[in-house]
């Protein structure tokens, strides 16, 4: 098939585009052309690169025509963040493509009440990002149910992989946590550290997208959570990370007020937004309908990301990695 991947050089596209080429598809990668994929692969030489500025073209009302003019059988949209943007694309592609596959987010779910969270038992989202991702998933499902465009939405967890920093053990991107753990120094955590986060390797997300394309009939009109088969608690993540450097985690439980006082305002807010949700998701629906089988555990996922940062001198640590 001819497949257009919007956002093809990002976290997911870096792994998805080569997968689609290996599967024999004719692949077009759309991006602003500002950066190369996070990881190189020989398959990129067979990919048609299309430079596109989605924000500017949506303002001009030309983006939908740009995508429609590619004459793709499948459009994979990895960078859609508002219901208005999704609606405009659906209206232009209706009747012109066989399948639209959208990248959502587990933040379409709010705080956890029942674990694991499934596609049907999630609480309502909060925050603009999560609300918009939920609206998009619902409108896509309704579009297909009403006999319109065949759509699928996939909702990844905290995407990690080689080339960028993962969400850390305290729920933010503060690089200091890695030096603290690698030195065996005390790490302050909010409360008991029982809150959870659900990471996923970018290649496992790419696997799910490839499966959705391959199994179009099973994926039609459906939404899927795409995460690792296991999840981390704050304290479990910290203990695992310290062990990568041959250390034990020295965790100090403090109040949220004390915890946030030691961080920048942005890092404190990021931690709150991740940990207040305390997500653990089920992948059973994706497993049953698509055959999704994540290759990486959450520990393997985050360790690979940290290893890449250390080996490329992008992260300061106090001791070498031992595992």
Architecture (CATH level 2) of domain 2-159+199-226: 3-Layer(aba) Sandwich (3.40)
Domain positions in the chain:
2-159+199-226, 163-198+231-279+298-311
Mean pLDDT of the chain: 97
Is 163-198+231-279+298-311 assigned to CATH 3.90.25? yes
Q: Please list the residues that pair with 188 across neighbouring strands.
A: 252
- Asked if pLDDT for residue 34 goes beyond 80, the answer is no
pLDDT digits (tens, 9 = 90+) for 125-143: 999 999 999 999 999 999 9
Whether 2-159+199-226 and 163-198+231-279+298-311 share one fold: the answer is no
- What is the DSSP secondary structure assignment for residue 281, as one 8-state letter? B
| Global confidence as pTM | 0.97
pLDDT digits (tens, 9 = 90+) for 251-308: 999 999 999 998 999 999 999 999 999 999 999 999 999 999 999 999 999 999 999 9
Helical segments of the chain, H only: 13-22, 54-60, 63-68, 83-93, 128-145, 176-183, 202-214, 216-219, 234-244, 256-261, 265-277, 284-290, 298-311
């Amino acid at each position: 098939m001819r497949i257009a991947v919007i956002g093809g050089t990002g976290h997911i596209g870096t792994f998805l585009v080569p997968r689609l080429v290996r599967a024999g598809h004719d692949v077009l990668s759309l991006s602003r052309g500002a950066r190369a994929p996070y990881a190189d692969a020989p398959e990129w030489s067979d990919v048609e690169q299309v430079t596109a500025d989605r924000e500017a073209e949506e303002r001009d009302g030309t983006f939908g025509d740009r995508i429609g003019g590619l004459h793709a059988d499948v459009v994979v949209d990895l960078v859609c963040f508002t219901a208005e943007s999704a609606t405009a694309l659906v209206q232009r592609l209706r009747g012109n493509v066989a399948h639209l596959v959208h990248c959502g987010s587990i933040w379409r779910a709010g705080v956890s009440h029942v674990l694991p969270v499934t596609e049907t038992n999630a609480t309502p989202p909060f925050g603009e990002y999560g609300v918009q991702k939920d609206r998009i998933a619902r409108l896509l499902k309704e579009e297909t149910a009403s006999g319109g465009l065949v759509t699928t939405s996939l909702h990844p967890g905290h995407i990690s992989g080689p080339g960028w920093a993962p969400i850390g053990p305290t729920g933010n991107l503060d690089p200091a946590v890695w030096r603290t753990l690698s030195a065996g120094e005390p790490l302050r955590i909010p409360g008991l550290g029982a809150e959870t986060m659900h990471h996923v390797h970018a290649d496992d997300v790419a696997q799910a997208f490839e499966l959705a394309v391959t199994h179009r009939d099973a994926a039609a009109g459906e939404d899927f959570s795409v995460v690792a088969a296991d999840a981390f608690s704050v304290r479990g993540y910290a203990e695992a990370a310290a062990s990568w450097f041959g250390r034990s985690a020295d965790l100090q439980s403090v109040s949220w007020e004390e915890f946030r006082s030691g961080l920048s305002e942005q890092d404190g807010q990021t931690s709150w937004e991740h940990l207040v949700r305390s997500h653990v998701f089920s992948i059973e629906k994706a497993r049953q309908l698509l055959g999704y089988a994540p290759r990486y555990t959450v520990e393997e996922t985050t360790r690979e990301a940290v290893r890449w940062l250390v080996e490329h001198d992008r992260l300061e640590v106090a001791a070498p990695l031992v595992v």
